[in-house]
Amino acid sequence: MKIAVLGTGMVGQALAGRLVELGHDVVTGTRDPQATLARTEPDGMGNPPYAAWATEHPQVRLATFADAVADAELVVNATGGAAAIPALQAAGADALAGKVVLDISNPLDFSQGFPPTLFVKDTDSLGEQIQREFPQARVVKSLNTLTAELMVRPTSLGEASSVFVSGDDADAKATVTELLQSFGHTDVIDLGDISTARGTEMLLPVWLRLMGALGTGMFNFKIVR
Amino acid sequence: MKIAVLGTGMVGQALAGRLVELGHDVVTGTRDPQATLARTEPDGMGNPPYAAWATEHPQVRLATFADAVADAELVVNATGGAAAIPALQAAGADALAGKVVLDISNPLDFSQGFPPTLFVKDTDSLGEQIQREFPQARVVKSLNTLTAELMVRPTSLGEASSVFVSGDDADAKATVTELLQSFGHTDVIDLGDISTARGTEMLLPVWLRLMGALGTGMFNFKIVR
């Protein structure tokens, strides 16, 4: 499948790398490709700059948001939460019309330090904001409840765990579910319409505290039933 | 141990029943014992009235909040979220001083229908509000992330799952952890101080959506790592 991954940070790299490995035709999207490639410093989390990753993944083309999305069949939003709507606006509402948009972003607000708070919650969600802003796109919220490495390689935990999908379009959720299964996810739970993204986005606060308590982000929620 | 369980609904009944079964000396607390016993209708969730439960649990004495807490070594707050602080105020700050208060309540606001929203979240929590209101009490938030039946009998799921403790007092968390282990909980995760209750209280929205998607409340989060 032709897939555009918007965002060139740790999450975008993990998704793009895994999708290429699975045989997809992948373009990463960024605001300014020259600026992205020019960065030589690690990001705020200590991850190597995109250029270093790109030399190891020559099959992945880097493009502007608009260029990346133009020919894509599926769009992955792997930007930070605050950057999500601007990135998708740069991609263009017309280009997104009819396409499945897998939204992985979380509405984290780091302006008051760590742990971050949520800039939308409880009575609305970032997933819903994106769906409202791009009513022709078929938005599916998923994968925002676990660390990048486990999003794309969940079997590395050694035990099955769960992921969730939220969205208004059943076919789009089926497409995303198949993609998740190709990553190794065996328990994909359909929570319902896009408003159920409120629930998974509000998982972040306990996720962050668990990371602190366990000393690692390599864990995931499993719904035992 | 002498334990006061505040709240006579489904959660209070589950806790009081299990604690008696484990050999504890249990008193349930309510605002007006006569009114509680006079109720003959099922509650809003279809559970039988307290009086029916009480006839099957003659060892459990029903008392006012203040009377229930007076001799207790440990207090379980099993009221609804909005009733939590008023119930504890009725019990009395002096009576709570020095005692472990296991707070199970969730700040659910049903005023706009289902699903409920949270009346405190993200930058504060009900657990913290209770600790601030009763600075001499040793508040531990726990068990608010699963259904009453599984709080007290987690092994009925047939697979180990996780519960969390949040609190400022390490000894109080140790006491609660032992109690949870006596219920059958084998994975009790200490998230840190009482502010980490924000995380577990914000689990409720996804818990409620999972209940809808799975058609049952008989499930629990397991932290796979």
Please state, rounded to an integer, the average pLDDT across all residues of chain B.
Answer: 97
Please report the pLDDT score of residue B98 as a whole number: 98
Distance between CA B153 and CA B149 in Å, rounded? 6
**Closest chain A residue to B210, measured at CA:** A191
The three-class DSSP label of residue A185 is: coil
Q: Which one of A192, A210, A224 has the shortest CB-CB distance to B209?
A: A192
Q: In whole angstroms, how far apart are CA B19 and each of A136, B144, B152?
A: 55, 17, 9
Please report the pLDDT score of residue A46 as a whole number: 81
Distance between CA A67 and CA A92 in Å, rounded? 10
Positive or negative, the Cα torsion across B205, A217, A80, A68?
negative
Dihedrals phi, psi of B3, to nearest 5 degrees = -125, 135
pLDDT of residue A119 exceeding 80, the answer is yes
The one-letter amino acid code at A178 reads: E
CB contact under 8 A, A117 and B118: no
- Where is pLDDT greater, at B166 or B47? B166
As given in the structure block, the two tokens for residue A162 are: 């769960």
Confidence of residue A132 (pLDDT cuts 50, 70, 90): very high
**Closest chain B residue to A107, measured at CA:** B122
Distance between CA A82 and CA A209 in Å, rounded? 21
Question: Tens of pLDDT along B149-194?
Answer: 999 999 999 999 999 999 999 999 999 999 999 999 999 999 999 9
Q: Does B129 touch chain A (CB under 8 A)?
A: no
Q: Which residues of B touch A214 (CB under 8 A)?
A: 189, 223, 225
Question: Tens of pLDDT along B12-28?
Answer: 999 999 999 999 999 99
Please report the pLDDT score of residue A170 as a whole number: 98
CB contact under 8 A, B207 and A198: no
pLDDT of residue A178 exceeding 80, the answer is yes
Confidence of residue A42 (pLDDT cuts 50, 70, 90): confident
CB contact under 8 A, B202 and A202: yes
Q: Which residues of A touch B188 (CB under 8 A)?
A: none
Question: Tens of pLDDT along A83-117?
Answer: 999 999 999 999 999 999 999 999 999 999 999 99
Q: Which residues of B touch A122 (CB under 8 A)?
A: 117-118, 121-122, 205
Distance between CA A77 and CA A206 in Å, rounded? 23
Domains plus CATH for chain A? 2-214 (3.40.50.720)
Q: Which residues of B touch A210 (CB under 8 A)?
A: 189, 191, 199, 223
Q: Which of B163, B166, B177, B202 to mutate to test the interface with A (most CBs of A within 10 A)?
A: B202
- B169, B137 in Cβ contact below 8 A? no
CB contact under 8 A, B203 and A202: yes
The three-class DSSP label of residue A143 is: coil
Q: Does A92 touch chain B (CB under 8 A)?
A: no
CA of A95 vs chain B CAs: smallest distance (Å): 32
Please report the pLDDT score of residue B158 as a whole number: 96
pLDDT of residue A44 exceeding 80, the answer is no
Q: Which residues of B touch A205 (CB under 8 A)?
A: 122, 198-199, 202
Work out the average pLDDT over A126-154: 98
Q: Does B93 touch chain A (CB under 8 A)?
A: no
The three-class DSSP label of residue A77 is: strand
Distance between CA B93 and CA B78 in Å, rounded? 17
B84-91 vs B126-133: helix axis angle to the nearest 10? 20
Confidence of residue B47 (pLDDT cuts 50, 70, 90): confident
CB contact under 8 A, B122 and A123: no
pLDDT of residue B221 exceeding 90, the answer is yes
